Structure 1
Amino acid sequence: MTELPLTTLTRVRRGAHHQRTDRAALYDIVDNALYATVAIVRDDRPVALPVGIGRDGDDLLIHGSTGSDFFRRIAAGAALSLTITHLLGLKYARSLFDSSMRYRCAVVHGVASVVAPDEKESALLALGEHLMPGRSADVRAMTAREIAATMVLRVPLAEASVKDNAGSLVEVDDDGEDRAVWAGMLPLRLVAGEPITSPQTAAGTTVPESLRRAAARIAASGTA
């Protein structure tokens, strides 16, 4: 597995010692996320939108409506930046200046490509499996009309930066601060609640095992 290249866009300048250049770290952040924020410049203004994601090898998959101006511009070759952040906790130092966060994040830069029509259904299934593992076996197949109305894009994971400060210290010895002031960590994690059945669902319909598996995955990772 190759290292992530350091470029003018991907080199971390603040807290550079927290930068990771191994692809395993990037893939771990992607694979434990359900969404990312995608940003482009549209009509001389920055625009950022959250999108569901999934990974296919060295590419990130995103999808949206074929009628979306945002996605059409990306499909036409607009440069994009995509960000994923896992917030792990709040660092309570003895001053607001030194207080901070623990997190793992990835920022991807590049130009997306449109998934070919004959590959679109399998790409959508890959996305669905990432977001809702096993759900495709519970529901009807996608229709040709639904597939045609959906645009799927590949974002290469070629130029990306990863920053991981999960092990960063809250404070250091002999910093001159008042030790009578509480300092420490407030850990944060994502949790899945109990499933809520739609009122239109037939009485007696059980919650599918796929939903339980999705909840268990979130519980195991604690991130999204």
Structure 2
Amino acid sequence: MTNTQIDAPLHKERTSHKTEKHRRPSYAKVRVSTRADYDWETIASILDTALVAHVGFIDDGRPMVIPMAFGRMDRRLFIHGAKAARIVKGVDEGAPVSLTVTHVDGIVCARSAFHNSFNYRSVVLHGTAHPVTDTEEKLAALRAITNHILPDRWDELRPLTPKELKATGVWAFDTEHAAAKMRQGPPIDEPEDYALPNWAGIIPVTTALGLPVTDGTVKEGVPVTASTLKARQKFV
């Protein structure tokens, strides 16, 4: 699938609401248009700072959502698991799949329960899944997943053995529709409520990686690798 086939161009809601409204299926639209952004750069920035994607699919007639590690190569995403995993066994070629990620940036404390909220950044992607069977593409996908978690980590590790590669199932997710949804800023209360003697504001939520902790078997003199330090930069 080429990039031009994926909501091309993915314009921002504020500049192309009318066009997007008519082009998108109902399941791919953000209900509150003021919180929507269909620009791919915005979507990619949210994906690239997420550690886990929740993958939704149908298995044996039932909806399933599983948190999974993922990687991205432009607008194609990759997920992986043991070949015995439910998603690897249960998703057919070209099956519809959705992926979501969410960052919670703050708790919004309003003067009424009705207006309590979160500041957040989220992405929902809709598309189809395909098993990756070509060895080179599979290795590239696993590299993307590994480096998504820890930048450049793949080059610090020993190569996968044929047995490990065979035991790992990889799926490519081709994005058909993608939308970001965000809220930022203070609470918005009813005009008459601003006179109430209630505290209102934002409690920030910060995501950060702590200092690396050795497993206790690292040989003396072996330093912490660069990938662990680069990963921390994603949340600064």
TM-score w.r.t. length of structure 1 = 0.88
What is the distance in 1 between the residues matched to 2:98 and 2:192?
38
> Do the aligned residues in 2 keep the contact of 1:61 with 1:153 (CA within 8 Å)?
yes
The gaps in structure 2 that reach 5 residues or longer are: 1-7, 12-22
Q: CA deviation at 1:173?
A: 7.0
2:223 equivalent in structure 1: 206
Q: Distance in 2 between matches of 1:12 and 1:210?
A: 36
Task: Give 5+ residue unaligned stretches, structure 1.
Answer: 220-224
Matched, 1:12 2:19: no
1:125 aligns with 2:143: yes
Q: Secondary structure at the match of 1:199?
A: coil
Q: Report the CA distance between 1:57 and its aligned residue.
A: 1.4
The residue aligned with 1:136 is 154
1:62 maps to 79
Which position in structure 2 is the counterpart of 1:222?
none
SS in 1 for 2:69: strand
Q: Work out the percentage of aligned pairs sharing the same amino acid.
A: 31
Structure 2 letter corresponding to 1:142:
L
TM-score, normalisation: structure 2: 0.84
Superposition CA RMSD, Å: 1.9
What is the alpha-carbon distance in structure 1 between the residues aligned to residue 106 and residue 155 of structure 2? Answer: 36
- Following superposition, which runs of at least 4 residues in structure 1 exceed 4 angstroms of deviation? none
Letter in 2 for 1:152: V
Q: How does 1:54-93 map to 2 (within 5 A)?
A: 54-93=71-110
Alpha-carbon separation, structure 2, partners of 1:88 and 1:209: 27
- Letter of the aligned partner of 1:87 in structure 2? V
Matches within 5 A, 1:23-102: 23-102=40-119
Aligned to 2:131: 114
More helix by share: 2
Shift of 1:121: 0.8
